Every structure is written in structure tokens, then in C-alpha cells.
Amino acid sequence: MSISDTSLKSFNTFSLEVNAVKIITVDTVDQLVSAWSDAKLAGLPVLLLGEGSNVLFLEDFAGVVILNRIKGIAVIDEHDCWSVHVGAGENWHHLVRYTLDQQITGLENLAMIPGCVGSAPIQNIGAYGVELQSVCQYVDLLDLNTGIVKRIDSSECQFGYRESIFKHHYRDGYAIVAVGFRLNKKWNPVLTYGDLVKLDRKTVTAQQVFAAVCAMRSSKLPDPRVTGNAGSFFKNPIVEAEKARSIKESYPKAPFFEQPDGSVKLAAGWLIDQCELKGFRIGGAAVHQQQALVLINVDNATSRDIRALARHVRVQVAEKFAIWLEPEVRFISSHGEVNAVEALS
């Protein structure tokens, strides 16, 4: 366990100049419980953080930030699959590369998603036709008040589009310490999105899918190490089929994806782009020129700049399409997470 200075700039990918009362890095369950208990005894709010890739700090945090760095990757070679147990503090993209290096397939579509493994189930991360829920076997959850680790089967995680039980019932007083994956040996490539449709299903390899995903993400998304951002800022809205049809009548080339229940998922980036907002700027924050779904810190942006820009984007899309976008990014106030939609209202 280590204690760093109070600046959170290097612990949020927007690179915002915000601070905490104390920042503690832990790499064991015992250290995590101890840091949590000490903060609670001191009467301070606590924020558990991975790599800060999906958060917007609205202001300084008036408490203790605990950085989860519990690591380790263990693979069990079973008859029809690989069971992979991963510490919550492992970097997600490192895990994807590691599995492919071990000739283990199934995570290649999820390459280059920023953040730690422990954050993946919370958001039910997904990209290019694959969501975490399709490969997750279990989540090991620590009750911070008792120190007991409980294994939650994937069927109990209430996974949905960027949703899970960890955003609700297990949000406060719990910490994900490990995630288990079941990766089938019989590989079934998912080639339904972007440039992946150009690949030949009969000859394609997982490494080729991985390379294509990395190339697409690199061409569209800014590197947070260079330009501060939190990736996709808004969720892709899911609307009724009738609403999607009306948009399609006016915009025949509009991308949309039919859902099993008959609803339709629209591309939030496309909706923003139709409002001609690429490059639009408020203060030091701007809409990215290549991918309108990404808000970036271009010139020492403040939390207020990014919040104002997000509000403007949301209003413009609502005025044009009568669709209110919901943030995918978590909003953190001085005492903890707040409702992002309410924060933009």
C-alpha cells in the first residue's frame, strides 16, 4: 500500500486539475479493506478508482481515493474452454494481448478499451459486436464492511447495455477484486461492425481481428495520454422501432441496429455529427473532429467546460431528433458519484 500526493490529474484520463484529500494505492484485499476502514473512521467519503478512464470529476474530491491495483492472471485449460481468473487491477488491454499471446481467443473485439479489468463488469463494456457479458463467468465482490469476498455468477450480474448490478445494488460499500472469464476453444469470430465485415470468416484469425480493431480505434479515438478524454461520452440511445423508422425516412443512411426485443439502437456519434458539432468548443473542451461521441480536453479544460459542452451537445441532439442522450461517463462530485443526467439538466 502506498500514499501519493493529492493531485488526481494523472488518475483521470480527462487530465483535469482536481485533487483529493488523500490518494492510496492498494494491491491486496486486506489493504483495500484497511484503507476503506480508516477513511470511514475518519468520516471521509471514499472513491474506488481503477485508471480513471470513465469518470468526470466535477470538482475536487473531499475524501480518500483508493486506487485498486490487485493483479494476477491465472489460466485453467479445460476440455472445451479456458477459464481465466484476473485481478481487478490488471489493465484491460494488457489482458486482451496476454490472452492472444497464449493462443486464447474471445477478447479480441474488446481490444484497446481503456481502464482496469475490475471496471469492465460495472459498465458491461462492449465494442464491435461483443459485450463483456458474453465472456464473463463470474465476478468476485468484496464486502468492504465485513472483508468477505462473494462470488457473483454472471447470470446474477443483471448485465444490460452499459448496465449491471454493480451500478446499483452493489455500488456502495463493495469492491470488485477479480473477474472470471470463460473463453470457448471453438472460436466464433464476430465480424459484424466496421472494417471487420471486410474480413473473410473462413480464413480470418483472432490476431487479424485484434489488429483491425486496434487500427479502427486508433484512427477514430484520441489517445488520452496525448489528448485528455474519457472515450465515448454518451451511450448509444435505444428507441422504439417507430421512432427509428421516422429517422430513417429523413436519413436513409442513418446507422441503426435492431435489438432482440424489437427496439433499435442508434449511433450517438452519428446523431451528434448530424448537428454539425465536430470541433465545437466551449472553453478548453471540444467535440472531437474524427469521432463526435468523444469530448476532449484541448486546452486546459476545466470540469465546468466539459460539463457545459456535454449539456450543449445533449440539447442540440434533443432539439433535432427529440432524443435525450445519456452520459456513459460517471460524474463524480466532492462526495461521490452523482446522477449524470441530473447533473446536465
Distance in angstroms (rounded) separating the CA atoms of residues 344 and 328? 13
Classify 294 as helix, strand or coil.
strand
DSSP 8-state class, residue 20 = E
**CB neighbours of 294 closer than 8 A, spacing ≥ 6?**
221, 222, 229, 231, 232, 233, 287, 288
Catalytic residue set: 162, 232, 328
User: Burial, 50: exposed, middle or buried (Cβ in 10 Å; 0-12, 13-18, 19+)?
Assistant: buried
How far is residue 214's CA from residue 252's CA, in Å, rounded to a whole number? 29
Cell of 56: 468526470
**Three-state secondary structure call for residue 241:** helix
Query: Which secondary-structure segment (H or E) carries 212?
Result: helix 206-220
Cα radius of gyration (the chain): 20
